[in-house]
Amino acid sequence: MEELKTSASQFRDHVKEYVQTYVDLAKVKATKGASGAASALVIGVAAAFLAFFFLFFVGFGLGYWLGTVVNNMAAGFFMVAGFFLLLGVLVFALRKKVIVPLIRNAVIKKVYE
C-alpha cells in the first residue's frame, strides 16, 4: 500500500512537471512570435520612412525635370502630383482586396513562424 502511495505521488509530481514544461514552452513560443512580429513592424516602419523620402525626392526631381521640358515649372509639378493622386486612388481602390490581405497574411505568417 505504501508503494502505491509513493507511485501516485511520483506520478503527480511528473504530471506537474509536464504541465509546467508545457506552459513554459507556450510562453517561449508566444514570446518568439511577438518578438518576430515586433521586429518586422520596426523594419516595416523604417522601410516606409525611407520609401517616403525616396518617393519625395524622385517626385521633386521628376517635377522639376518635367517643368523644364514643358517650360512651365508649375505644370511639371502638377503632372507629378496628378500621377501620385492616381496612385493614391489606385491604392485606395485595392485596399480591401489586395493590400489588407497582403499585410494581414504577412503578420500572421510572421507570428506563426
Pairwise CA distance, residues 12 & 6, whole Å: 10
Residue 77, judged by CB atoms within 10 A of its CB (0-12, 13-18, 19+), counts as middle
pLDDT digits over 25-51, tens only?
Answer: 888 888 887 787 788 788 989 999 999
The pLDDT score that the predictor gives to residue 29 is 83
Q: Which of 10, 29, 74 is closest to 2 using CA atoms? A: 10
Contact by Cβ (8 Å): 67, 76: yes
Give residue 111's pLDDT band: very low, low, confident or very high (50, 70, 90): low
Contact by Cβ (8 Å): 106, 96: no
Domain layout of the chain by residue ranges: 16-111
Q: Which residues, other chains included, contact 111 with Cβ-Cβ below 8 Å and sequence gap of 6+?
A: 33, 34, 36, 37
The pLDDT score that the predictor gives to residue 63 is 95
Give residue 107's pLDDT band: very low, low, confident or very high (50, 70, 90): confident
pLDDT digits over 50-105, tens only?
Answer: 999 999 999 999 999 999 999 999 999 999 999 999 999 999 998 888 888 888 88
The answer to whether the predicted template modeling score (pTM) of the entire model surpasses 0.75 is no
